[in-house]
Structure 1
Amino acid sequence: MLDAGARHVVAHLSDLHLGAHDPAAVASVVDDVAAVAPTLTVVTGDLTMRARAGQFRRAREFLDRLPGPLLVVAGNHDVPLVSVERVLAPYRRYQRLILPELDPVLRLPGLTALGLQTTPRWRWKSGRVSRRQSEAVVSVLGSAPAGAVRLLALHHPPRATGLERLVGRDRLLRALARARVDLVLAGHTHVFRTGRMELGATAHRPIEVVAGTAVSRRTRGTGRSWTVIRVDASAVVVEERRQSGTGWRTGTVRRFPRAG
């Protein structure tokens, strides 16, 4: 448990698809994120539409406007679609212009966060978590200080099915249980969702938060949104922030008791 009165605020954005974005959303969302004074800002992939250098530069400019510290992971749209580069150097532009580390780790007072890159070059839509990455969940998050919030960020939601499924899911779920992960943040579907995750025989149930698309035109009929997650000693509150006109408003709010 967190110490009494301790609190973390996590801003979670995903699926920016810069290059296929809404300028009004790009112009307004940074101020809305800044208004919640986040402890940590997480961006779970698909920063670009087609992994072009100009789109990555635009993404870098956007990230630099967000309140830090930042934890960022790549998505399937951040890998070149069909090219020699996809085969020989699929992450080169992302690593040069966004972040060298594909599986970043961030340790803050009272919070440990790990990001996983879940798009191998041979998959176009579905994702994969490797054995090495599942072991990193256990070693990094499982060794977080007692009482720290343990947060995992990845592009593909572990519970997604069909073409959006995550290969290695069962192995990852076992790692989540062993590490007693508190929060699993993802994107990819462009549709906001949150709830407890079932991890099989264990009673431990992390909270999964799947963010909608924050600024892109690819809304899938649900509008644009991002999420703010507030964690204190007693509860985790997940608030959907939806675009409304030239600003943002509160949408769905879910409260989860904090596990001991």
Structure 2
Amino acid sequence: MRTLAHISDLHFGRIDPRVVEGLLADLMAHRPDLVIISGDLVQRARRSMFREARAFLERLPFPYLVVPGNHDIPVFNVVRRFLLDPFRYYKRYISRDLSPLHVDSEIAVLGLNTARSVILDFSHGRINRAQIARIREVFDDLPPHVFKIVFTHHPFLPPPDAPWTRLVDRHKLALPALEACGVDLLLAGHLHRAYSGELATFHTQVARSILVAQASTATSTRLRNEANAYNIITVAMPELTLEVRSWTGEAFGRGPLSTYRKDGHRWLLQERDIGEFAPTDTTA
């Protein structure tokens, strides 16, 4: 069994300090085997904000993997954005590895950087052919019992109430590789929305079942009609439990909980409980 914490969209530079402390306390209570951070560590890619994010990471007493998001690229500094390395501060303060990997006897977790500084609207992300090749390289030869996870900043699945939401560019090129090498779970953020589902409910061309879990913003004040939240994921094959931990105004409490069971190549929803604290905006 493995317990994973999936946090996203921290946005240091525009955070609620009480929520940051509450998040650290809740992580200590759950003691995850691995923390997965799916981008947007800072609000404006400034040195001071990356230093704050670095200080937060140094307080985590657990292993973690992290990828950048579009907010981790400079917006107004066009020289850094186009002519120099747009990830310079990210690499200095957060990680030089833009495609981190963790593999053990039960799980394999691969991060892919979908943030792009050169596309017209750089708030949207993209996956490229080299990254698709890396998916195959990492997962193809792993034993079939290993649970396989890919995490990005930009989503592969839209919210159930907003099917028109723009997804990571070139996702259709990546779907056959994800399916062929047996990826079980996709994690992302960006939308500041907490939801989960099965990829084939939207991408009908995918025959093999792949679960998706989106994380809300963990600590930012940039809420979108939801409270701050993060995910606790328990992998105990053939079952996976996804618990949304939602900010109540005083601490993080149990929000919606979903249990999935794998039957052959299909993930089937077994139970869904809305929990004590649904991820609605508690600041209203």
TM-score by length of 2: 0.86
Residues in 2 aligned to 1:239 and 1:86: alpha-carbon distance in whole angstroms: 37
Q: Name the residue aligned to 1:212.
A: 216
Deviations 1:4-52 (A, max 9, x none): xxx1111000000000001100111012012112111000000000011
Residues in 2 aligned to 1:168 and 1:28: alpha-carbon distance in whole angstroms: 37
Paired AA for residue 226 in structure 2: T
1:106-125 → structure 2 map (5 Å cutoff) = 106-123=102-119, 124-125=122-123
Percent of aligned pairs sharing the same letter? 34
8 Å CA contact 2:199–2:206 kept in 1: the answer is: no
Q: Name the residue aligned to 2:192.
A: 190
Q: Name the residue aligned to 2:256.
A: 252
Secondary structure at the aligned position of 1:72 is classed as: strand
Deviations 1:115-154 (A, max 9, x none): 0000111232111000110111111122223311101010
Equivalent of 1:20 in 11, 14, 21: 14
Tell me: higher relative CO, structure 1 or 2? Use CA pairs within 8 A at least 6 residues apart: 1
Tell me how far 1:258 sits from its aligned partner.
Answer: 2.5
Secondary structure at the aligned position of 1:258 is classed as: strand
Deviations 1:34-81 (A, max 9, x none): 211211100000000001111111111111222421110000000001
Which consecutive unaligned segments of at least 5 residues does structure 2 have?
Answer: 265-284
TM-score by length of 1: 0.93
Residues in 2 aligned to 1:67 and 1:195: alpha-carbon distance in whole angstroms: 30
Out of 12-21 and 141-150, give the one that drifted further. Answer: 141-150
Aligned-residue Cα RMSD (Å) equals: 1.5
8 Å CA contact 1:73–1:102 kept in 2: the answer is: yes
Asked if 1:170 corresponds to 2:172, the answer is: yes
Q: Name the residue aligned to 2:230.
A: 226
Size of the alignment, in residue pairs?
Answer: 254
Equivalent of 2:90 in 86, 91, 94: 94
Paired AA for residue 19 in structure 1: G
Going from structure 1 to structure 2, the CA distance change for 1:102 and 1:170 (only over 3 Å counts) comes to same
8 Å CA contact 2:230–2:245 kept in 1: the answer is: yes
Secondary structure at the aligned position of 1:66 is classed as: coil
8 Å CA contact 2:10–2:41 kept in 1: the answer is: yes
Out of 186-195 and 121-130, give the one that drifted further. Answer: 121-130
Which consecutive unaligned segments of at least 5 residues does structure 1 have?
Answer: 1-6
